[in-house]
Structure 1
Amino acid sequence: MTDALASLPTREDQRAAFLARAGFAKAVLVALPADASTRRYFRLDGAGLLLMDSPPHSEPIGPFVRIARQLQGLGLSAPALLQVDEEAGLALIEDFGHDTYTRLLAAGHPESELYHLAVDTLVVLHRAAPAAELAPYDKQRLADEYRLFIDWYVPLLVGKETAQALRDEYLALFADACGDVAKRREALVLRDFHVDNLMLLQGRKGVATCGLLDFQDALVGAAAYDLMSLLEDARRDVPEALRKALIKHYLLQRPELDARRFLEDYRRLAAQRHAKVLGIFVRLAGRDGKHAYLAHLPRTLGLFVRALDAEAFAPLREWLDRHVPGWRDELPAETLATLRETPYRLVQGSSHGHV
């Protein structure tokens, strides 16, 4: 048995064989920093290409390939696909370079220009009919995400057993607030549309200058989701005046929408996303040892508290005030210190989560 296992090709062997088949046997690979998922990327030095390694047992590569082609069909810039082996979970894709929105903003690039381009990109995406074969962003998928707050964040405030006892009431109240928006089938929702996953591409025109990354988990749902994800970013502050201007910029280009309903969807999805992200950041730190995400908890909590000011969330807000004391306050220093210890466990679950 041991000899048989030893003879199986390693992941490194599989990557090398794939590159050889593609004509890049001698390519020098440079690993790129990992994110919150199990996917890995390697830059082929000097080739203008990336090797995408997406383990088939945890993150099949097929959805990335299909959605990339759909985006390209709309004139949007998803990475070109040079060679794909879906069974192995490997692909050679276009390298968009280094100009992520995050880097450009840190270097002082005009903020309004980048954000307006991203919003214009969403307008093009949302005017197109979403692919029928994609799964819906339905009430179950929304619930699978907002439950992360009660499963991972709330136990830090009231203890694991109390949080478990409160779980069903929390889920029911959140479901009531999201019942209407869960029925939307308006657009392709990329779900991770924020500055870390957007790039500025030289030599292209219009919305094609906005490079799109990390879209393999796309579903069909409410058009408001990705705009909210961009403007209510867990990783960076978006000035309120700019946020309002960009929402107006989007709506002016889509006069066919019911603006009031769109804004209501935006608010409800903001609460849903921030609940998810608070849970994911705690899980990434406490279970997976990825402590850098803790720096973003105060901002995300502030966004969550603001989102729950919406009238639709009054019952949940009042319930949290009664049952989860301190939910509006930043986590104490000693709690954060515990999260930085290894090992640390609250509940078991998947390590994957998009933020």
Structure 2
Amino acid sequence: MLIRSEKIERFLRHHRWDDAKTEKINSDASNRKYTRLFKKQNTSILMDSDPTTNESIENFIYFTNQLRKQKFSAPKIYGQDICNGLLLLEDLGSDSFANILKSKPHLENHIYQEAINQLIEIRKNKIPHLTRKYDLKILLQEAVLFSEWYLSPLRASYESSHLLKILRVSLQETLKQDTTLVLRDYHAENLMWLPDRRNNRRVGLLDYQDALAGNPAYDIASLLKDARREVPKKLQEELIKYFLKKTNLDHAVFSRDYSILSAQRNLKIIGIFSRLSIRDNKSGYLDLIPRVWKNLQDDLKHPSLNELSEFIKSNSPQPTLENLGKLFKA
């Protein structure tokens, strides 16, 4: 049986990239690994998604092909080995929104509006027919990560069933709207700025393999309530106003759904970041929890979330240095 490195070498040799120079790319929170390959004047990206520790790459391939058919800038697939979880991909460069705004902060308003334009265009297209629904079961399963990995390790006194009961009522309201393709991790780390391309192709897409059919407010919240960088409040408000003007969605309904789904997402992220520290020994994610907590507190100001707000106040320890230290040692 071939070891992992031998499988990768065979895959690259088959696609004539075995003699390329390599550069490791910082990976996401998953166990996937990425390597940039250099050969003469060309580059490509090797995605190494070991099927023994990751889900199949079939979803990534499916949504890549669907997004490209709809003229969005998902990376071309040059080669694939589904059984071994290997992909050879187009290199969209290093200019993620997060990276480029460090050196060119004056572009913030412009590129974020381009990201909103892309969501508007995605909404105009048909949802790929194999896309699963972002249903109540999935939304609640995600939110309960907050209980399992943040509240429980901190020995908070709470009833998980009560939290789910509160969320169930709120989340059911968000399921009444027309759905769109929701990419789910639509934020500055996963959006690439490609200014030489035209129209909505100027925004490159990464990390969309878990896409579902759901409420359009979700990806707006993912973009504007970013766990890794602050988006100015004024810009958030302007972009939401712009999105609503372009889509003719009801302002009050959207505002409610946006707050509910952002709260659900932030509860999930706090749970995931806590799990990454406790289970996967990736303690660096704990540093991001205070920003996510701040975003959650902002969400809870909406009157539709009064009951959830009271629950959080009464049962959820704040992410102080002392409490984050407990998660580090758990």
For normalisation by structure 1, the TM-score amounts to 0.87
Contact 2:244 2:250 in 1 (8 A): no
- Matched with 1:29 is 22
Q: How does 1:91-130 map to 2 (within 5 A)?
A: 91-109=87-105, 110-130=107-127
State the shift of 1:184 in Å: 4.5
Kindly provide the CA deviation profile for residues 12-35 of structure 1, in whole angstroms up to 9, marking residues without a partner as x.
111111111112222233221122
State the shift of 1:149 in Å: 0.9
2:62 corresponds, among 52, 66, 86, to 66
1:222 corresponds, among 208, 215, 222, to 215
* 1:193 matched to 2:186: yes
* 1:151 matched to 2:140: no
Kindly provide the CA deviation profile for residues 280-300 of structure 1, in whole angstroms up to 9, marking residues without a partner as x.
111112221212212211111
1:338 corresponds, among 317, 323, 326, to 326
Structure 1 unmatched runs, 5+: 1-7, 345-355
Structure 2 unmatched runs, 5+: none
- Matched with 1:55 is 50
Contact 1:79 1:95 in 2 (8 A): yes
State the shift of 1:183 in Å: 4.8
State the shift of 1:157 in Å: 4.0
State the shift of 1:337 in Å: 2.6
Query: 1: distance between equivalents of 2:287 and 2:265?
Result: 18
Query: 1: distance between equivalents of 2:109 and 2:174?
Result: 29
Q: How does 1:162-173 map to 2 (within 5 A)?
A: 162-163=157-158, 166-173=159-166
Query: 1: distance between equivalents of 2:91 and 2:71?
Result: 18
- Matched with 2:301 is 309
Q: Among the aligned pairs, what percent are the same residue?
A: 35
* 1:140 matched to 2:112: no
2:85 corresponds, among 86, 89, 93, to 89
Query: 2: distance between equivalents of 1:41 and 1:179?
Result: 38
2:245 corresponds, among 234, 252, 258, to 252
Kindly provide the CA deviation profile for residues 275-320 of structure 1, in whole angstroms up to 9, marking residues without a partner as x.
0011111111222121221221111111112212222222222233
1:243 corresponds, among 227, 236, 241, to 236
**266-275 or 84-93, larger mean C-alpha shift:** 84-93
Contact 2:154 2:326 in 1 (8 A): no
Question: What is the number of residues matched between the two proteins?
Answer: 326
Query: 1: distance between equivalents of 2:166 and 2:175?
Result: 14
For normalisation by structure 2, the TM-score amounts to 0.94
Please state whether the residue corresponding to 2:260 is helix, strand or coil: helix
Q: How does 1:206-221 map to 2 (within 5 A)?
A: 206-221=199-214
- Matched with 1:19 is 12
| Aligned amino acid, residue 101 of structure 2 | L
Query: 1: distance between equivalents of 2:186 and 2:149?
Result: 24
- Matched with 1:297 is 289
Query: 1: distance between equivalents of 2:231 and 2:5?
Result: 41
Contact 1:138 1:183 in 2 (8 A): no
Cα-Cα RMSD: 1.6
**201-210 or 96-105, larger mean C-alpha shift:** 201-210
Query: 2: distance between equivalents of 1:300 and 1:167?
Result: 20
Contact 2:139 2:264 in 1 (8 A): yes
* 1:273 matched to 2:265: yes
* Change over 3 Å in CA distance of 1:305–1:37 after alignment to 2: same
Contact 1:139 1:183 in 2 (8 A): no
- Matched with 1:347 is none
Contact 1:301 1:330 in 2 (8 A): yes
Query: 2: distance between equivalents of 1:90 and 1:291?
Result: 28
